[in-house]
Structure 1
């Protein structure tokens, strides 16, 4: 069933209806899917509540739906993973956002580091990129039936990561030079982990000075294994290992 997200203010439970007024969604429903009155779709309020609805009114600027069923979404992880991703070149960031949204990351923070090829100094260009990345997260969330849409933060520098750390139970940095401390060892060393930050470097990795700076902010450098992974692979692998170790992936 096709899935759409709406703002909770568009959900009028007392009137047993939901309003869709996002023009892109309306175009997709009417022109691409060619749905009509009586057809059913799935709607999420972006706060882990789902609805099965029937289309009751179609308009160029508004679609009304009748609520048939309401239930809690069961697709969200109990873990809140924040991915701090150094911005890679080309369209790799698109892939990173898409796949980490699918795996269950809650928040993605783009980071500029010393070895980043991409340097975004124009604020309008930065906002365009963030808007594009957020749209990718929305579409990926629809596809994998997320109960939340991951937020894409404004671009930050390494030194700004410290302001996030105090709200996290653990912060890890996969680092190819780390030979003694594996990610499984670190995850198993602490109980009741709910919020985790993962910091991923760009092509070429972080400098030793940046690793030291992150460690001084409370981060732990870890090894993901014997092979060096690309920047677009490392975050997904780290997230998958964490979710498996803490019981979110792999089934019962």
Structure 2
């Protein structure tokens, strides 16, 4: 049985006894947008390490049923563990960051509130961002979405940072430490994190707190970048240097 690597992909929350049930948005997309039919072949991802190749067996009014024919270890999941700690910014820009970091290969995303954060988390962001990363893996070929963590306060970040071998902190006031030097000096790191502030940056007290927590302050060059640009740039460079794209 032949399956194409670029075949249509759907996200399911569970597979039971070799049967997949798609409902809500995924069912609607399959039935009314893609206009697929019974016996068509599709790929299903569930958030684990595998791609599941399936045949559509029934398309109902509110649910699609598929039978799993085979599974295969996904080759597009990231090998480097890279966590982004991102200060909350405008909703649309935060959504863009999650989409692009998923495509690039970040493993975890931890939003936080700092002193200059304007767009506070009212408890609805995590669900929205989870939906975005689940949709993004269908486009980029991963089977595991980026893990979206609950929003924390910057003052509570220190215990989380202790799990990482290398922590990079994008600091617009840094003048002497370039990113490439830090990466060269820590080329054996296995669990990496980077931290990006909101539109207003960080206070001097917050900068000192992050450095005291083990973060390495780096400059991203002579131009001041927007938060979303800095996060995408950092993820791209770090993953490239750690051979994620080889």
Q: Calculate the TM-score normalised by the size of structure 1.
A: 0.89
Cα RMSD of the aligned pairs, angstroms, is 1.6
Q: Describe how 1:121-200 pairs up with structure 2 within 5 A.
A: 125-126=122-123, 128-200=124-196
Distance 1:192 1:18, change over 3 A: farther
Deviating 4+ runs (over 3 angstroms) = none
Q: Which of 7, 10, 14 does residue 15 from structure 2 map onto?
A: 10
Determine the C-alpha separation between the residues in 1 that align with 2:146 and 2:16.
21
Matched with 2:46 is: 45
Matched with 1:235 is: 231
Determine the C-alpha separation between the residues in 1 that align with 2:80 and 2:23.
30
Displacement of 1:42 in angstroms is 0.7
Q: How many residues align?
A: 240
Matched with 1:66 is: 67
Displacement of 1:44 in angstroms is 1.6
Determine the C-alpha separation between the residues in 2 that align with 1:138 and 1:20.
16
Are the equivalent residues in 2 in contact too, given 1:101–1:140 (CA < 8 A)? Answer: yes
Determine the C-alpha separation between the residues in 2 that align with 1:169 and 1:193.
5
Unaligned runs of 5+ in 1: none
Matched with 2:198 is: 202
Determine the C-alpha separation between the residues in 2 that align with 1:105 and 1:114.
26
Matched with 2:106 is: 105
Aligned to 1:181, what secondary structure does the other structure show? coil
Displacement of 1:61 in angstroms is 4.1
Displacement of 1:191 in angstroms is 4.1
